[in-house]
Structure 1
Amino acid sequence: MSPSSQLHDQHARETLRLIGPDPEDWVVARPGIDHNVLIVGGGQTGAAFAFALRRAGIGRVDVIDAAPDATRAGVWTTYARMNRLRTPKTLPGPEAGLPALSFQAWHEARHGEASYADIERIGRGQWAEYLAWYRQFLGIAVRYGTTLTLIEPTDAHFRLHLTVRSERGLETRVETARKIILGNGVVGNGRPNILPPLAGLPPSHLAHTSDAIDFAALAGKSVAVIGGAASAFDAAATALEAGARDVHLFVRRARLPAVPVSRARAYPGAYDNFPALPDALRWRQALRFRRAGSTAPADAVQRVTRFANFHLHLGAPWHEAAVVDQRVQARAADGDFEFDFVIAGTGYAVDLHARPELARIADHVLLWRDRYQPAPEERDDALGAHPYLGDALEYLEKQPGAAPFLKNIHVFNPAGFVSRGVPVGDVPCMKRDIPAVVRRISQDLFLEDLDAHEARMSADVPADFDASLYEPHVYRERDVEATE
């Protein structure tokens, strides 16, 4: 570790000292409860929540992640393939208002102030390094190789069915929790959006951008990428950089989306108050984004256009696709083609029933289509499938009184987009939404054991001193007259 890095760590430790020690766990222990809060997902969201809950004095918090180890948790070292993050470097992240824990402080300590001033957006690799430091420095423990397979609600808590990968192989366990935070990424409330005709292709010839793709194996191959958003361009660039013979990117729109409409509401008033907007206005904002299209950053487009063997197809949805003689034969709107491999950069579909861990609760969750009926010209079935979340990003009941346990599941993944106005789980939402969830969890855990807390607050408190400390100086009129 360099001297400047050591100095930064010392400064960060001093910051933690100055804000005082972590509060003691005040939550009343309940028999048979393993976790007050289980956080599903050990990436940036899981680590930030673990720290925030610790600072709120909430103990018995556990973080699980299906990845086998820290190097493969989250997206930044796995299927995120951009060179730079897509968010401005100045946005607050997981530092919880403590500058010494911020990316800027970390980066400047290692590379200097001039280096930070030089970068327009944070490099993906550096962000991954920073998150690893954050997790290690704060001592955030994550149970890797642990997958939540089923949430089973009971009257008093959740029974959590887990699959745990160990040296002995796969084991199943059942643990209990009072609260759950779903910080489980882009597919946390759904699935990769692979539609016909791609759905008929075998895994040997098709991958989604969320898959672990062996790009080295695509060297010398002809590759098709479907989609016009950033992840499609990132996959196309990675294939070209790996030596693909040629890459054809097919976009159904006649022009690439280039207008980032959500930037119009990227100011504190709109950001802070978006969850309080009327449903109709939140819907229109989500619909405006959907219709404008998700824009790839200019540098993502430039990353592919520098290759002469990159070919862009506009207004070219695929109509047919099949494997014939080990090659994918495709019929697109602009012609017939053959490829060795296809990558679907087609995004994700919100579909609670696609998640096995939600099987017992999906039917009870209030969706936007249950709550809000837009005019026919504003209908959008994909947006309607998003859960309609409460103020603390909790699930709400479709039928009031039928599933009261839903208020104890907080959704911190992109399924919260329509309700919150940003891709929940990404950097832009952290400053606003993590405190909202932690406040609600604290309130709920406190009020659910109010009798015990009332007894604690009303308990006898020993005096700091007795009357002998001041008795000789108590004013008495006759004593004054005697001295005169």
Structure 2
Amino acid sequence: MSQSIFSSVAGLAALEARLQQDLAWLDLPAKSWVPPLTLDGQPVLDVAVIGGGQAGMAAAVSLNHIGIGAVIFDQSPAGFEGPWATTARMETLRSPKKLTGPALGFGALTFRAWFEAQFGLEAWEALDKIPRLQWMDYLRWYRRVLALDVRNQHRVEAILPRADGVVELRVATPAGVTTVLARRVVLATGRDGLGGAYLPSFASDLPRRRWAHSADDLDYSSLAGLRVGVIGAGASAMDSAATALEAGAAKVDLLIRRKELPRVNKGKGAGNPGLTNGHLYLPDEWKWRIRHYINVQQTPPPSASVQRVSKFPNARFILGAAINDIAVGEQGMRVSTTRGVFDLDFLIFSTGFRIDWTIRPEFAAIAPHIRNWSDRYTPPAGDEDAELADSPDLGMAFEFQQKQPGGLPGLKRVHCFCYPAALSHGSLSGDIPAISDGAQRLAQGIAALLYRENIDTHYLNMQNYNEPELLGDEWLPAEPTSEERR
């Protein structure tokens, strides 16, 4: 870039100083106001956030800024939270570079500010989209500059709402299993936050060494010289195919069930502040109608991702190729489709994600009690949608609700701030465009709930408050009037 290393460092230091000045001018973070609580000799956290990616960090900052303490627990090593430096395969983010992401309304906290401070305005204007690994570097800076309390290599093994008004977490740490108590728990666990990879039924009949899901931590160099099939046509399918080709795969066939790739991102066309702020308040039928339409239309892969694949002469786009059967032999697999038979060595399923409580043991205690949209709403014939039906029916602060009243009263203390919240709240809980709006809605909702449940204490504090505004010597009493002297 055009700036020297010295000026880049100086520019970043100046940006950090500006951000701290902005926070000081706004008197942020606010002082703590939640009554401290100790149970069983153990201090109770205000909020425990599970997941230290962009959603978890934005949630924690929003909570801190309104005087609510938040501690983040993430299973990954420091600096490797989320998919960006691990399982993601795209070269750049799919979102436009101008989106402000988790900046929460602070110009100095945006990716653009971070980038320009180091590389200058000219470099920003020349940038097309944000490189994936550079986005991860920005998130690492975001964590550092905001001094977030993140406990890495802490995996939550059980979420246990208790009758005494707290949620107990059993957490595996490098030092062993420990117990954490919190008034509220936020699940900021990403795209597969309530389940895992979706796989077609026939995948279970294949030897595990013969396939992977696009979300797996796969060593793509192991595909060098192999005949690879990629099932799917979304962005992750293109990223997986391109990565395999770049790693030296002998050939890559994209087996695409659709006869045409979707061309238009309908979800992008609906994005505006009205949707961001208004989806929550729509009637059920409109919420379902909008999300179902987006699901049916599907999101096209970015043009650059498709071109990244198509530049290889040993890549083929096989459209209209629904899978009929897969026969496994010593020399590979024979994949029978509606477009013919393909001899392959390895398959990559780019088939998305699903809600599946059974594969997430940490949710075992709460899963049977969670009210889903299938319990709330029956769509018109022809508009059935398994993803939407399985989505949790969330309250105003993203909190889970009970399927049967009284089944698990403490369930409302667990908040779902990950992708499956989209039907209830819109796309506010994971995607870059509206992540700040979602984090602030979550924090404000939790603040309201914490205030209400401690209202007796807050009222008593108000009654006991005795710092005088007046000392009594600010004025002289008027002399009695003639009427008063009579």
Classify the TM-score, shorter chain: over 0.9
Amino acid in the other structure paired with 1:104: R
Which of the numbers 118, 121, 139 marks the counterpart of 1:131? 139
Partner of 1:15: 22
Unpaired segments of 5 or more residues in structure 1?
A: 479-484
Q: CA deviation at 1:45?
A: 1.3
- Taking structure 2 as the reference length, what is the TM-score of the superposition? 0.92
Give yes or no for the alignment of 1:64 onto 2:73: yes
The answer on whether the counterparts of 1:164 and 1:173 sit within 8 Å (CA) in structure 2 is yes
Larger CA deviation: 2-11 vs 240-249: 2-11
5 Å-filtered alignment, 1:78-477, equals 78-155=86-163, 156-166=165-175, 171-325=176-330, 327-422=332-427, 424-464=429-469, 466-471=471-476, 474-476=477-479
Tell me how far apart the structure 2 counterparts of residues 134 and 423 of structure 1 sit (CA, whole Å).
19
Tell me how far apart the structure 1 counterparts of residues 35 and 14 of structure 2 sit (CA, whole Å).
39
Q: CA deviation at 1:93?
A: 1.6
Aligned residue pairs, count: 471
Partner of 2:54: 44
Tell me how far apart the structure 1 counterparts of residues 151 and 187 of structure 2 sit (CA, whole Å).
15
Larger CA deviation: 324-333 vs 184-193: 324-333
The answer on whether the counterparts of 1:198 and 1:321 sit within 8 Å (CA) in structure 2 is no
What do the CA deviations read for 1:133-180 (whole angstroms, capped 9, x no partner)? Answer: 1101111121111111111221122221222234xxxx2222222211
Amino acid in the other structure paired with 2:32: D
Tell me how far apart the structure 2 counterparts of residues 174 and 399 of structure 1 sit (CA, whole Å).
28
Residue 18 to residue 256, structure 1, CA distance change in 2 (3 Å): same
Tell me how far apart the structure 1 counterparts of residues 261 and 470 of structure 2 sit (CA, whole Å).
75
The answer on whether the counterparts of 2:231 and 2:255 sit within 8 Å (CA) in structure 1 is yes
Residue 244 to residue 20, structure 1, CA distance change in 2 (3 Å): same
Question: SS at 1:47's partner residue?
Answer: helix
Q: CA deviation at 1:199?
A: 2.5
The answer on whether the counterparts of 2:400 and 2:412 sit within 8 Å (CA) in structure 1 is yes
The answer on whether the counterparts of 1:223 and 1:341 sit within 8 Å (CA) in structure 2 is yes
Tell me how far apart the structure 1 counterparts of residues 441 and 224 of structure 2 sit (CA, whole Å).
47
Give yes or no for the alignment of 1:77 onto 2:80: no
Which of the numbers 18, 31, 38 marks the counterpart of 1:24? 31
Q: CA deviation at 1:405?
A: 1.8
The answer on whether the counterparts of 1:392 and 1:433 sit within 8 Å (CA) in structure 2 is no
Q: CA deviation at 1:322?
A: 4.2
What do the CA deviations read for 1:242-282 (whole angstroms, capped 9, x no partner)? Answer: 11111111111111111211123112222220111111111
Question: SS at 1:272's partner residue?
Answer: helix
Larger CA deviation: 308-317 vs 459-468: 459-468
Question: SS at 1:376's partner residue?
Answer: coil
The answer on whether the counterparts of 2:71 and 2:150 sit within 8 Å (CA) in structure 1 is yes
Q: How many percent of aligned residue pairs carry the same amino acid?
A: 34
Partner of 1:482: none
Tell me how far apart the structure 2 counterparts of residues 93 and 109 of structure 1 sit (CA, whole Å).
18
The answer on whether the counterparts of 1:197 and 1:319 sit within 8 Å (CA) in structure 2 is no
- Taking structure 1 as the reference length, what is the TM-score of the superposition? 0.93
RMSD of aligned Cα (Å): 1.9
Residue 423 to residue 317, structure 1, CA distance change in 2 (3 Å): farther
Tell me how far apart the structure 1 counterparts of residues 270 and 106 of structure 2 sit (CA, whole Å).
26
What do the CA deviations read for 1:193-230 (whole angstroms, capped 9, x no partner)? Answer: 01122222233121111111101121222111111110
The answer on whether the counterparts of 2:104 and 2:436 sit within 8 Å (CA) in structure 1 is yes
